[in-house]
Amino acid sequence: MMFVVMVHLDGAALSLPTISGDFDALTSRELWKLSAQSITIVGVNCFTLISGYFGILASMRGFLKLTFLCLFYSVGIATAFYLYDTIHNGTAFPWQSWCESWLVYSHTDLWYVPAYLGLYLLSPLLNATEQTFSNRRFAAMVGSFTLFTVWCGWWWGGRFNPTGYTVIQLILMYLIGAGVRRFTATFDQRQRIRTLIFGVGIYLAGTAATFLISLYLDPIKAFAYNSPAVIAASTGLLMTFTSFEMRSHIVNRIAASAFAVYLIHKNPLIWVRHIKPLANKVWELVDWQRYTLLVIGFTLAVYATCWVIDLLRIQIEKMVFRIPLKR
Q: Rounded to an integer, what distance in angstroms lies between the CA atom of residue 279 and that of residue 293?
A: 13
Q: Which residues contact 318 (CB under 8 A, 6 or more apart)?
A: none
Residue 239, in any domain of the structure: yes
- Residue 39 located in a structural domain: yes
Q: Please tell me the total number of residues recorded for the chain in this structure.
A: 327
Range of the domain at 168: 2-320
Q: How many domains does the chain have?
A: 1
What is the distance between the alpha carbons of residues 195 and 243, in angstroms, rounded to a whole number? 6
Residue from 104, 101, 70, 109 nearest 83 by CA? 101
Residue 52 within any structural domain of the chain: yes
* Dihedral angle sign, alpha carbons of residues 247, 248, 252, 258: negative
The tens place of each residue's pLDDT in the chain, 327 residues long, gives 999 999 999 999 999 999 999 888 789 999 999 999 999 999 999 999 999 999 999 999 999 999 999 999 999 999 999 999 999 988 899 999 999 999 999 999 999 999 999 999 999 999 999 999 999 999 999 999 999 999 999 999 999 999 999 999 999 999 999 999 999 988 888 999 999 999 999 999 999 999 999 999 999 999 999 999 999 999 999 999 998 888 899 999 999 999 999 999 999 999 999 999 999 999 999 999 999 999 999 999 999 999 999 999 999 998 888 766 555
Residue 228 lies in a domain: yes
How far are the Cα atoms of 171, 181, 259 from residue 56, in angstroms, in the given order?
Answer: 12, 13, 15
Asked whether residue 160 is domain-assigned, the answer is yes
* Domain contains 219: yes
Residue 235 lies inside a defined structural domain of this protein: yes
Establish if 238 belongs to a structural domain: yes
CA distances from 188 to 192, 198, 211, 243 (A): 6, 15, 34, 10
Task: Single out the residue of 4, 69, 53 nearest to residue 257, CA to CA.
Answer: 69
